[in-house]
Chains A and B, each alone.
Chain A
């Protein structure tokens, strides 16, 4: 089995998600290579990639490849796979990687499974695992031919440093006409208003259990110290404590952050379907039989008014130290 991992970087930082996939690839065994595309900063990062499991790092570096546009990267990856004959190509999902994987799949007429949370090797077959229908089902997927392409949910695997010095090979690629047509004309870094509910990594939602609009500050403070965004249940929005734009649920927004903290939220199904895809769920509610306790990772039966201020204190203390 010969695997190629698409490794991304942001400035001079390697993407943690890519390195995690690299670690997984190394675990699956046999030879693992990486491919990196970018401007002149890429070569320096290439040797670092070797520490995380790549034997050979293919590098396409050029000013023209510096902007984060997907289609030139499709040309590069397709060429590397075509020349070196990898049978498996793995990606950690990102806005860019998703586009690249889709394009490579079409270019190589290769099967692509996406949104995988794990992958298992049985001799020479690979079985991917993904969650479907708002994470209510686990589906096992496979490939019928090679090369096999896969996109993993970010954060599915942890990077593992193995040491090692990779071979760095420069790749020069003739870009397709259509790959050169799009131009990056401007870039605007995140405005201060912060991420939207849908893209937030941390969400703290307040429910009726907060007891009153004045207590929404509990959710706001906790969100602040966790670097997250405040959400609300439908009942809270109905009561006028929070605007409709903050509503999470069936008739509000669907979210899947890394961390979802539910304060005084009962967990009715209408709310559940909007957040059950969250990676980690912590719920605080004084009703021991609140339905939310059936689908969370940490169930805290207690009074939000006592617990949350203490929690905020502790977290602020940790940050300071």
Chain B
């Protein structure tokens, strides 16, 4: 049986870890460098700014740029995508009660909720299982919230550098000393174009990696410093759309079952989410664990199929799709957290470190809290010389750890889908045991053996009104990446047909297509890298995503 793990990508970690090479007067020196302008990174920036405001002397010592955030997207928020139902505790703590949740750009408290098990034609309601109860939580667009958090960070003095990718981890004498940003203006073969601009070395006393799912430097750091978890990390792929609708939706909805297969041999865990965004918008998404085995499975197409369900299409009737996006979510839970969250000069936060509670499908508040704690540890280190180990201690004493620990066993019952547990138990009851969760396994996603089914025949044709093809969806993500730049995705070029087919269907942005089969039985993988919305799925299943030129990728505003 073929697995993608047997065809590893041409990727050398050593290419991305180096000492600083810029002459001293060209380097950019900052106090704290945050990589990633998402909720974790911006929470870190905001907390650090608050601490500096209360301590002007330390602020003075840290020079012109006490804290800088580098963000590879066009703006903070451009690469953020989530449901999102947010537990407000961490945000309240971060803003110290001075900004109310209601004043943040969100869509209000969760009004009510339903959970359904779907078949092709029916929707059977089940009571929302305990991990899924969302009373007291709030609905947000993460892209919109991220944009706002960026503004708050700048108001307390953070220097935000957007359209800037962090390509290389700068390490000197076993200590992280900063990052080197990516070059701009290279052609497809790496050649320097007329407006070529080399990256810069940014050196910092503390580097905080808050890159989100499949973080590029995070992955390198985990390996380089031996921080990797015992249980390999696994991921889920979420593809979602935002719709303008004439009829308001007045509750949040989660579904499981169709169009996923329940039989354990396919390992299809996941479900859908449908949330109101105010009275005139709705977001609908499909989430599937990337340990599925069917090479014909396409999460994007399953989302299109989902929308044709009679009970779901009515929710979108008369509406218009206004945005689309895709992103992976780390799903390994407690057992896949790094052994340590710090190394000399380095701190790890948020989704990049795997801080996501899959049974409740929440990670935002852990990201914010970890960013906040990272700021405090960094501040203490800079002011008093305290070891960065204090960050590990703080996270382990926080609700991040206790929450994830509490649901660590649920992995067995809950499998690796979302909000399983009680829901799954109910499903088992209702289906009289036909639903099974299979054996608990600790295999990484790319070690799953592949099978092929003909389910692709069932994917709906795109009608441009309710259902859409991948290319027009990439357009709806706001992606207008420059085409003539180097390919930022490392994959083996010649692979068995099954592996190529896996990638072709898996990628929501239609980056991959399979060329003709050669005499050796392998096919050539052809790529359109500028379609890439940097969801990270390829890194989970045999390839390796690195950041393209800063500013490339989607321009999410409502996801």
Contact = CB atoms under 8 A, between A and B. Distances in A.
Chains A and B in contact, CB within 8 Å = yes
A241 B472 CA distance: 24
A251 B471 contact: no
A66 B475 CA distance: 49
Question: What is the interface residue range for chain A against chain B?
Answer: 10 to 19
Given A235-B528, A238-B528, A252 B483 contact: yes
Interface of A: 234-235, 237-238, 244, 247, 250-252, 268-270, 273
B480 interface: yes
A250 B480 contact: yes
A268 B479 CA distance: 14
A234 B529 CA distance: 12
Contacts of B484: 237, 244
Interface of B: 471-472, 474-475, 480-484, 528, 530
5 contacts: A237-B484, A247-B483, A251-B481, A269-B472, A270-B475
Contacts of A251: 480-483, 530
Nearest to A270: B475
B471 A268 contact: yes
A252 to B, nearest CB: 7
Given A244-B484, A247-B483, A251-B480, A268 B472 contact: yes
A237 B483 contact: yes
Decide if the interface of chain A is mainly helix, strand, loop or mixed: helix
Given A235-B528, A251-B481, A269-B475, 16 more contacts: A234-B483, A234-B528, A234-B530, A237-B483, A244-B483, A244-B484, A250-B475, A251-B482, A251-B483, A251-B530, A268-B471, A268-B475, A269-B472, A270-B474, A270-B475, A273-B475
B528 A270 contact: no
A234 B472 CA distance: 14
Contacts of A238: 483, 528
A137 to B, nearest CB: 15
Nearest to B513: A235
A270 B471 CA distance: 8
A244 B530 CA distance: 13
A247 B528 CA distance: 14
B431 to A, nearest CB: 39
A270 B476 CA distance: 10
Nearest to B527: A238
B194 to A, nearest CB: 13
A51 B472 CA distance: 51
A236 to B, nearest CB: 11
Nearest to A289: B461
B156 to A, nearest CB: 37
A273 B528 CA distance: 19
Closest 9 CB pairs of A and B: A268-B471, A269-B475, A244-B484, A269-B472, A251-B483, A250-B480, A251-B480, A238-B528, A270-B475
A270 B482 CA distance: 12
A238 B532 CA distance: 14
A238 B474 CA distance: 17
Given A235-B528, A238-B528, A251-B530, A269 B471 contact: yes
Contacts of A237: 483-484
Nearest to A294: B464
Contacts of A234: 483, 528, 530
